C-alpha cells in the first residue's frame, strides 16, 4: 500500500470520529481501551495527530494506591468542567515521585481522546461519543508490557495483572466497543458498527514501530 493511501485511511477514521455528535458538553470524548501493553498509547498518539486532538492518558490519573479507583477524581477534575464548556484543570500523577505533579489544562476542544485500561468502564460510557478497543490478546499484551518495563518492574506487573483481571471481570469494556482496532503488518485495521461485530475492515496504517503501551 502506498504511503499516501495509508495516511488517507487514518484520515477516514478521524473524519468519522470528528463527525460524531458531541458527547460531553461541546466535546466528542473518544475512549480507547484494551489490555495493558496492547498498544493504546501509540495508536492514540497517531490518531490524535491526524485529528489535531489532545490525549488524556489514564496512567496520569491513576496512582499506585488507586490503579482503578480514579473515577471520582476524573469526574471532578476533567469531565464536569468539560461538560460545562469550561477548561479542565487537573494534575497528572508522577509514578516515580509517587505524587501528583504540576497542574495542566485541557480545553473543551471538539475532540478529546481518553486512553487507558478502563477508558470504556460503565461509568464513562454514557460520556463517550465512541469506544474503541485494541484487539490484542491479554497474555500477548501483558508480555509485551513486561518486556518493555524490564525485571525491575516485575512485582508491579504481578499486582497489575491481578488488578486488571478483577477490573474487567467486574466491569468489562470490550462487549460495548463500537470499534475494534487490530495491529497489522503496515499499521492497523479497524471494524466499526453494531458493537464491532464482524464486518468490513478498513485499513488504518502508520509506521511499523512497535507500540509502546
pLDDT in tens, the chain (213 residues): 333 334 447 788 999 999 999 999 999 999 999 999 899 999 999 999 999 999 999 999 999 999 999 999 999 999 999 999 999 999 999 998 999 999 999 999 999 999 999 999 999 999 999 999 999 888 888 788 788 877 777 888 888 889 999 999 999 999 999 999 988 777 888 887 645 543 334 444 333 333 334
pLDDT at 123: 96
Query: 184's torsion region: left (phi>0), alpha (psi -120 to 50) or beta?
Result: beta
Location of C-alpha cell 460503565: 122
pLDDT score, position 137: 82
Residue 141, pLDDT score: 80
Nearest to 84 by CA among 105, 61, 108, 106: 108
pLDDT value, residue 177: 96
Alpha helix stretches (DSSP H) within the chain: 3-18, 40-51, 71-74, 80-83, 138-149, 154-170
pLDDT at 54: 96
Q: What is the pLDDT of residue 185?
A: 74
**How deeply is 35 buried, as exposed, middle or buried, from its count of CB atoms within 10 A (0-12, 13-18, 19+)?**
buried
Query: What pLDDT does 193 receive?
Result: 61
pLDDT at 150: 78
Amino acid at each position: 500500500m502506498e504511503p499516501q493511501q495509508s495516511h488517507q485511511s487514518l484520515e477516514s477514521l478521524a473524519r468519522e470520529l470528528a463527525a460524531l455528535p458531541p458527547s460531553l458538553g461541546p466535546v466528542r470524548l473518544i475512549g480507547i481501551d484494551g489490555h495493558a501493553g496492547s498498544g493504546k498509547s501509540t495508536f492514540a498518539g497517531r490518531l490524535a495527530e491526524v485529528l489535531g486532538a489532545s490525549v488524556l492518558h489514564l496512567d496520569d490519573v491513576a496512582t499506585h494506591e488507586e490503579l482503578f479507583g480514579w473515577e471520582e477524581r476524573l469526574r471532578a477534575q476533567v469531565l464536569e468542567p468539560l461538560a460545562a464548556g469550561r477548561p479542565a484543570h487537573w494534575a497528572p500523577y508522577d509514578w516515580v515521585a509517587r505524587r501528583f505533579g504540576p497542574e495542566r489544562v485541557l480545553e473543551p476542544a471538539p475532540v478529546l481522546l481518553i486512553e487507558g485500561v478502563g477508558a470504556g468502564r460503565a461509568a464513562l460510557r454514557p460520556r463517550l461519543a465512541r469506544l474503541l478497543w485494541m484487539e490484542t490478546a491479554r497474555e500477548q499484551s501483558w508480555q509485551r508490557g513486561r518486556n518493555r518495563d524490564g525485571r525491575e518492574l516485575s512485582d508491579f506487573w504481578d499486582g497489575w495483572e491481578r488488578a486488571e483481571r478483577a477490573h474487567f471481570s467486574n466491569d468489562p469494556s470490550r462487549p460495548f466497543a463500537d470499534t475494534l482496532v487490530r495491529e497489522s503488518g503496515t499499521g492497523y485495521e479497524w471494524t466499526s458498527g453494531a458493537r464491532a461485530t464482524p464486518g468490513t475492515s478498513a485499513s488504518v496504517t502508520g509506521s511499523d514501530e512497535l507500540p509502546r503501551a
